[in-house]
Amino acid sequence: MNTENKNSKGAVATGIIAALAASSCCIPPVIAAIAGVGGAAGSLSWMEPFRPYLIGLAVVAIGYAWYSHLKPKKEDDCGCDIEKPKWYQTKGFLIGMTLFAAVSITFPYYSGVFFSDNKKEVIVVDKNNIQKINIKIEGMTCDACQHHVNGAVNALPGIVNVNSSYEKGNAEVEFDNTQTNIAEIEKAINSTGYKVTETQNNTPAHGEKGHVCGPNGCGSSK
């Protein structure tokens, strides 16, 4: 195998690894959801800041592989190709690897299809029992994380609505406080592998101010 062929093969391998690594922060949540387990969903969230660089590396590597494939080949004196392409040097293989890299890179944008939102009809006897909270969450990096949190919270009884956002790093939850409570909701979120850092009660009762709960306890909201 000549140096050029080795470089082309290495470029394809580099592109695929970089493409997978670019979306690795969103893979654990999907695996956890499919397997019905939690606890490690946020284990690769530290890779999120490197995502743009990994995507760039994947594009450059795959681009180089295509350049090596498409540029004119050298011929010997009889006008024949010097070496017959190996299976990993064929156009079909390169197309397949390019598509695989594209699917891997865009994984965060369609990963929600792997999740069940667990949403169900909730019967509320008294609207005064509806409580609204805003929970700050650490570790969410993509749509998969949002869907993972939504599914875990919706699995609890009495959840009227839940809307989490990895961009804001929070989850807004409406629930019937006669059927569940803040502690159970926080426990459900923590079980996914993400970490609740603060909870704000946005539904003051009897004219009282809301309260904020964090690692050091609760206090009145400003």
Residue spans per domain, the chain: 3-113, 117-220
Q: Is 62 left (phi over 0), alpha (psi -120 to 50) or beta?
A: alpha
Question: Quick check: 8 and 89 in contact, CB under 8 A?
Answer: yes
Low pLDDT (below 50) residues in the chain:
1, 206-218, 220-222
The total of other beta-carbon atoms located within 10 Å of residue 122's CB is: 16
**Dihedral pair phi/psi, residue 214, rounded to 5°:** -140, -170
Report the half-sphere exposure of 194 (CA within 13 A, side-chain side): 37
Whole-number Å distance between alpha carbons of 158 and 180:
6
Beta strand residue intervals within the chain, DSSP E: 130-138, 159-165, 170-176, 195-201, 211-214, 217-220
The dotted CATH code for 117-220 is 3.30.70.100
Q: What is the pLDDT of residue 186?
A: 96
Length of the chain: 222
Tell if the pTM clears 0.75, that is, is over it. Answer: no
> What pLDDT, on the 0 to 100 scale, is given for residue 4?
62
User: Residue 34 gets which letter from DSSP?
Assistant: H
What angle (nearest 5°) sits at the alpha carbon of residue 38, between those of residues 114 and 134?
85
Q: What is the pLDDT of residue 60?
A: 93
pLDDT of residue 188: 93
How many angstroms separate the CA atoms of 106 and 141, rounded? 14
